[in-house]
Amino acid sequence: MTQEKSIQNIPTLVAIIMDGNGRWAKMRGKARPEGHIAGVESVRKVIKAAVAEGIKFLTLYTFSTENWGRPQEEVDAIMELFCRSVIAETPELKKEGVRIRIMGDRIAFSKKVNAYIDRIESDTAEGEALTVVLAMNYSSRYELTATTKDIARMVADGTIKVEEITSEFISQHLYSKDYPDPDLIIRSGGEYRLSNFLMWQAAYSELYFTPTLWPDFDKESLREALEAYAGRQRRFGLVK
């Protein structure tokens, strides 16, 4: 077997909009939750591949604030799948050195889901190879609204002056404050939009869209995205 060539210029943070589970299921005459179950397999493969490629942060859009509006059956199935996956995947994640963090407002989750969130975050807290950030009950506008309120309160109670509000200050008060901005954002499933994901953080991210439905996305799909990224020239508004 030939050793795969390593890619130059690996992004520090890759964010993925994991889209296409429902269509994948429909094409097979299955119910939508079957697509989400298959999607967990892709998550497992991509996490393993991300560790192998040397990516340090992987942010996965898992459940948007708007996704609560889906049929209750589907929402329940996704929440149940999350809890089951926590139990099933924790040993392998620990072995791989993966730390799991949840990003989003937890208030909307049931007690049970919150308990599983606490459990996976504490069980994997020592992971140093890769941090996987699961964006759950996350949306960019929700995040920016919450941050705006927090900062407004700091001004109102005199903790900070208006002049202290810089773009760095705002970044440091978002849900994503512990992580760098995404270098690369991948969207599977063929749509060309961000769907309320990391809109502030994506200011200078490279975007990569693929028609591959999320349950079909695998380590080769990740590699293709990384190769495309390696060929990009980022200018950040400057002259190269």
Residue 19: active-site member? yes
The nearer residue to ligand IPE, 12 or 195, going by C-beta atoms, is: 195
How many residues sit close enough to ligand IPE to count as binding (CB under 6 A)?
18
Our finding on whether 189 is near ligand IPE (CB under 6 A) is yes
Our finding on whether 89 is near Mg ion (CB under 5 A) is no
Per CB under 6 A, the list member of 21, 42, 131, 201 interacting with ligand IPE is 21
Window of 13-21, 48-56, 82-90, 91-99 that interacts with ligand IPE by CB under 6 A: 13-21
> Shortest distance, CB of residue 194 to Mg ion, whole angstroms?
13
SS (H, E, C) the chain: CCCCCCCCCCCCEEEEECCCHHHHHHHCCCCHHHHHHHHHHHHHHHHHHHHHHCCCEEEEEEEEHHHHHCCHHHHHHHHHHHHHHHHHHHHHHHHHCEEEEEECCHHHCCHHHHHHHHHHHHHCCCCCCEEEEEEEEECHHHHHHHHHHHHHHHHHCCCCCHHHCCHHHHHCCCCCCCCCCCCEEEECCCCCCCCCCCCCCCCCCEEEECCCCHHHCCHHHHHHHHHHHHCCCCCCCCCC
Residue 114: active-site member? no
The nearer residue to ligand IPE, 22 or 127, going by C-beta atoms, is: 22
The nearer residue to ligand IPE, 62 or 221, going by C-beta atoms, is: 62
The nearer residue to ligand IPE, 23 or 45, going by C-beta atoms, is: 23
Our finding on whether 85 is near ligand IPE (CB under 6 A) is no
- Note the residues at the interface with ligand IPE (CB under 6 A): 17-23, 61-64, 67, 78, 189, 191, 193, 195, 214
Q: Which residues bind Mg ion (CB under 5 A)?
A: 19
